[in-house]
């Protein structure tokens, strides 16, 4: 059994196991920095009056904000990051050490807009893992399911994200 088969089996053991975390209170500044960095100029992200005119109670986060932020807490110290700089939590804490990770896309379902002051709760699980053979060798595709809710349980966003995990060059 190759090392990648072994990782695939260990990830597969995690399918269906749900972890639930409170991510804390979201501030408008956080999602507005995300909006600026992404090049967004739509006033619904920045201006409460413009958002109200569009039918929202106040400025809202861009739809991809929740599913693009990789860390919601203080994060790892530099020494605890993986050699590629990624934090172990970036891929739901899966046992992917020694592999190169790349985001490969998402599918999101929008349930309700995200506003300043929302207290976020996230449930994370592995939905699927597949071992594939590519032109440059074998790789894994891992699908991570994330459900974001507010603290009263109102669904905000469902995200399914695909990661590709490849062995380091030369291994």
**Would you tell me which residues interact with another protein (CB under 8 A)?**
30, 33-34, 36-40, 42, 44, 53-55, 62-64, 67-72, 75, 81, 84-87, 90, 100-110, 162, 169
Query: At closest approach, how far in Å is the CB of 52 from another protein?
Result: 12
Kindly state the smallest distance separating residue 100's Cβ from another protein, in Å: 7
Taking the complex as a whole, the smallest distance from the CB of residue 164 to another protein amounts, in Å, to 9
Question: 1 or 37: whose CB is closer to another protein?
Answer: 37
Of the pair 13, 53, the CB lying nearest another protein is at 53
Smaller CB distance to another protein: residue 4 or 35?
35
Q: What is the spatial distance between Cα 48 and Cα 30, in angstroms, rounded to a whole number?
A: 15
Q: Report the largest interatomic distance among the alpha carbons of the chain, rounded to a whole angstrom.
A: 60
CB nearer to another protein: give 6 or 38: 38
For residue 43, the minimal CB distance to another protein (Å) is 9
Strands (E), the chain: 19-25, 99-110, 119-134, 137-150, 155-167
- The tokens describing 89, both together, are 């939590």
Backbone φ and ψ for 103, nearest 5 degrees, come out as: -70, 140
Determine the Cα–Cα distance for residues 94 and 11; give it in Å rounded to an integer.
Answer: 7
| Residue with the two structure tokens 């469902």 | 158
């Amino acid at each position: 059994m190759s090392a990648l088969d072994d990782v695939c089996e260990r990830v597969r053991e995690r399918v269906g196991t749900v972890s639930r975390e409170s991510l804390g209170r979201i501030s408008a500044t956080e999602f507005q920095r995300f909006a600026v960095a992404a090049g967004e100029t739509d006033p619904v992200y920045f201006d409460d009056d413009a958002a109200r005119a569009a039918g929202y109670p106040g400025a809202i986060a861009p739809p991809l904000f929740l599913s693009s932020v990789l860390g919601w807490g203080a994060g790892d110290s530099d020494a605890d990051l993986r050699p590629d700089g990624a934090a172990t939590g970036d891929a739901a804490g899966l046992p992917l050490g020694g592999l190169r990770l790349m985001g490969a896309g998402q599918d999101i379902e929008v349930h309700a807009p995200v506003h300043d002051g929302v207290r976020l709760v996230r449930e994370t699980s592995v939905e699927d893992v597949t071992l594939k053979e590519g032109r440059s060798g074998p790789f894994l595709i891992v699908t991570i399911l994330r459900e974001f809710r507010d603290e009263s349980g109102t669904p905000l966003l469902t995200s399914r994200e695909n990661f590709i995990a490849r062995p380091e060059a030369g291994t």
